Chains A and B, each alone.
Chain A
Amino acid sequence: MSATYAAAHSFNKVMEILDRFERSETKIIPILQAVQEEYRYLPQEVMTFIATSLGVSPARLYGVATFYSHFSLEPKGKHIIKMCDGTACHVRGSSAVIDAIRKRLNLTAKKITTDDMMYTFETVSCLGACGLAPVLVVDDAIHGQVTPEQALDAIEKIEAEERENA
């Protein structure tokens, strides 16, 4: 799928999403969720488009999108890794895992996506799975009671797959 076709496809999806939620201001959150699913983040022009379609100001929509940590206004990497740093996870040693991952991917608390757009690494507050603390999520797969070694292994596994597909 070439870039042009992909853009057109996604844009038609946005139209579809807006229609599905009846272009209603009260459905801002589900609309943004659906659009983020399509683009993996919320591109600015698409946001302005949605704001205009819903009759809200772009600043208001931006406010909503930045209120929820779930939404991202920056493009994200191909693989998304999340580490919980909520109280339970923190107490059980999430910091060491976080440090190890950041070191491996050359990221910091501010710079969360690798230059090659391969990985995004975020910390989150509580995943609601405190029983498994500390919790790591790699592309939707949940790993409980992780150690720094296990986290690095998970990254190696992705690397290997990527090499194979290249």
Chain B
Amino acid sequence: MEKYIYINDRPVLWEDEKNILALARKAHIEIPTFCYHSELSLYGACRLCMVEVEGRGLVTSCSTEPFEGMRIKTHTRQILKLRKTIVEMLLANHDQECPKCSRADDCKLRDVSNRLGIDKVRFRKTRERKPKDLGSECLVRDPNKCVLCGDCVRFCDEIQGIGAIDFAARGQNVNVAAAYGKSLAQVDCVNCGQCAAVCPTGAIVVKSHIPQVWDAIHSGEKYVVAQIAPAVRVALGEMFKLPSGELATGKMIAALRILGFKKVFDTAFSADLTVVEEANEFVSRKSKGEKLPIFTSCCPAWVKYAEQSYPQLLGNLSSCRSPQQMFGAIAKERLPQQLGVEKEKLYVVSIMPCTAKKYECKRPEFSHDGIADVDVVLTTQELGRMIKEAGIDLNDLEPESMDLPMGFATGAGVIFGNSGGVSEAVLRYAADKFDIPVPENIVLQEVRGSSGLREASLADGNLKMAVVHGLKNAQILCDKIVSGEAEYDIVEVMACPGGCTGGAGQPIVHNKAQRKARTTSLYHADKTMPLHRAQDNPFINELYETLLEKPNSHQAHELLHTAYKHRKRIDDDELSLSGAGAEDRCKVRVCVGTSCYLRGSQDILAKTLQMVEENAWGKHFDIGATFCSETCDKGPTISIGDQTIHHATLPQIREMISKAAGTRE
């Protein structure tokens, strides 16, 4: 039996829609929403989506389940009035500086306000103006534009499993804040930018580095080159009214040249290089049976997350730098000579789908003698904006092609932009070694798909892989790996939904179909390329012959690999119990993380403090509690000066403390 619901007196077939909102959409009615997001939990706080249900009065359409024969009205006089009132109240506390906002073209608040024909705001401001958070390399938060829908909070908590931001205070002071009101740069935020991508307004936006790039181009001094990540080419067109997923590579290259970029290269080239390095690293680990699973390391949000939350797994992360940083290192090493420019004048701009790449390029290990491997990162959106600013009509440009040698890539490098792409590219490289049959079209269907966690078992179970996107999924998987409940050889992690194509630097995603179109298009791009395996890229082979010698060589390690370190979640969150600050004091840190604590670290800490106290040695020591958790199996772990003691016992620590005090008395 078919079930019907009546929307504005017209019957609508009710299939499996979970709420009135979805049904209305089917009836071609778009009900405005702020706090509803199909990928997140229900919040039902903004009340903008109110509709009238016969016999029940006003209900929120985002959180009301349909029932058979339900009769709904979506634009009664009362509803329209209510919506206006709600939006006016939001506007009253909004700074209304829309012409200066980077989300102006894509703001729900502005859109709804227009649609409702609001031409004045009848209410007074009740909230005080709050300062912007400008601390992060990647994002800018402006609380004066926030409508308190909580989408950002829920994304960070539910999909990324981090909870770097949350509601703080209450009443008219409610605001979205990082812990202790700090900047995002000082807390556990991994810069994925997804909070900005789901924010309906300009309250969280990507930090713009357009001025730096214009400066470099206009300086006349710098030789500005670009590298373009795979995912950019399937999304940029959306900003110019091309259909989602339409491949805009050629037009984009032409636009970059018009803007003033001297050379345009492909990050997919260095992704090919990543495949070779990472696959060899994996094969060597696999043959020795050590440090497995290998985790991919191309996603800087995931890398920071692992550094904060899984120090015990850092040894498992591939030591490979991301394709962006491999490109930067090779560019600064080779291009000066190849192009005849001084190294100081070569200016490398990355065009990325990703906000976290902005943070990655600023990591100190990726600069040498004051010269960064990658000078600045622009997101897809920022490139689109530059193109618009220059008045370039992207759609009408004749396509052009990338520059050689670093503009030549195989399909393996291109599919890096999709979740599962890195795994597939590595598999294509290593298939021979593991006797994995590769079909004619070299599509390894096993690792494709869109679910948040996918598993595959290949080579008769000799090769177990997992592909995750969303850091919450990564968390679940990592916990299983740490506890021994799950075992894999290769784990690919991407923080963003669907991988880089769903990155927060891309044009705002409005629906699932849009995501899907980008993914499909990237796989298409692979198909239309002449080569599909990284090892077939002649320019990569040339690079090994002339510079790198062989995969994982000493030189390759110098240029293409990196190391990770344990990071605290919150800046200065160490619990100093005595004499912090003075530098010449002997620093003592006792781990009180769960496993050290269970092994008695707390008792050692208390007794040590007591001992220092009794002997009046306070001036010699700076004693504190930390969560190191890095070596949980060896707890209690205590560091005294530059020594680290595992399996610490009280007598041992007492002796060391006395000795340290002795030399200082």
- Contact-residue bracket for chain B: 35 or more
A8 touches B610 (CB 8 A): yes
Does residue B630 face the partner (Cβ distance < 8 Å to A)? no
A57 to chain B, nearest CB (A): 3
Count chain B CB atoms within 10 A of each CB in A2, A5, A56, A57 and give the residue with the most.
A57
B613 touches A59 (CB 8 A): no
Residues 270-296 (chain B) with a chain A CB within 8 angstroms: none
Q: How many A-B contacts if CB must be within 8 Å?
A: 105
Does residue B579 face the partner (Cβ distance < 8 Å to A)? yes
Residues 24-66 (chain A) with a chain B CB within 8 angstroms: 44-49, 51-53, 56-63, 66
B525 to chain A, nearest CB (A): 38
A59 touches B177 (CB 8 A): yes
B592 to chain A, nearest CB (A): 8
Residues in B with CB closer than 8 Å to A66 are: 168-170
Chain A residues within 8 Å of chain B by Cβ, number: 29
Main secondary structure of the interface of A (DSSP, over half): helix
> What 4 A-B pairs come out closest when comparing CB atoms?
A57-B163, A8-B609, A58-B179, A4-B578
A59 touches B165 (CB 8 A): yes
Query: Which residues of A are in contact with B by a Cβ distance under 8 Å?
Result: 2-5, 7-8, 11-12, 15, 44-49, 51-53, 56-63, 66-67, 73
Q: Which residue of A lies closest to B168 (CB)?
A: A66
12 further A-B pairs in the complex, CB-CB below 8 A; given A49-B575, A58-B570: A4-B612, A8-B610, A11-B577, A47-B180, A48-B569, A51-B179, A52-B627, A59-B163, A59-B187, A60-B157, A62-B179, A66-B170
The docked-state distance in angstroms from the alpha carbon of A2 to that of B205 is 48
B168 touches A57 (CB 8 A): no
Mask, B559-587, CB within 8 Å of A = 1, is 00000000001101111111100000000
Residues in A with CB closer than 8 Å to B346 are: none
A45 touches B179 (CB 8 A): no
Residues in A with CB closer than 8 Å to B578 are: 3-4, 7-8
The docked-state distance in angstroms from the alpha carbon of A97 to that of B37 is 49
Which of A4, A48, A67 makes the CB contact (< 8 A) with B170? A67
A57 touches B166 (CB 8 A): yes
Given the known interface contacts A57-B163, A63-B166, A73-B180, the answer about A5 and B569 at a Cβ–Cβ threshold of 8 Å is no
A10 to chain B, nearest CB (A): 9
Given the known interface contacts A45-B574, A58-B569, A59-B179, the answer about A4 and B579 at a Cβ–Cβ threshold of 8 Å is yes
Residues in B with CB closer than 8 Å to A11 are: 575, 577, 605-606, 625
Given the known interface contacts A7-B578, A57-B188, A62-B177, the answer about A2 and B618 at a Cβ–Cβ threshold of 8 Å is yes
Q: Which residue of B lies closest to A58 (CB)?
A: B179
Residues 587-610 (chain B) with a chain A CB within 8 angstroms: 592-594, 597, 602, 605-606, 609-610
B167 touches A58 (CB 8 A): no
A113 to chain B, nearest CB (A): 18
Residues in B with CB closer than 8 Å to A45 are: 572-576
Does residue B247 face the partner (Cβ distance < 8 Å to A)? no
Does residue B474 face the partner (Cβ distance < 8 Å to A)? no
Residues in B with CB closer than 8 Å to A3 are: 578, 618
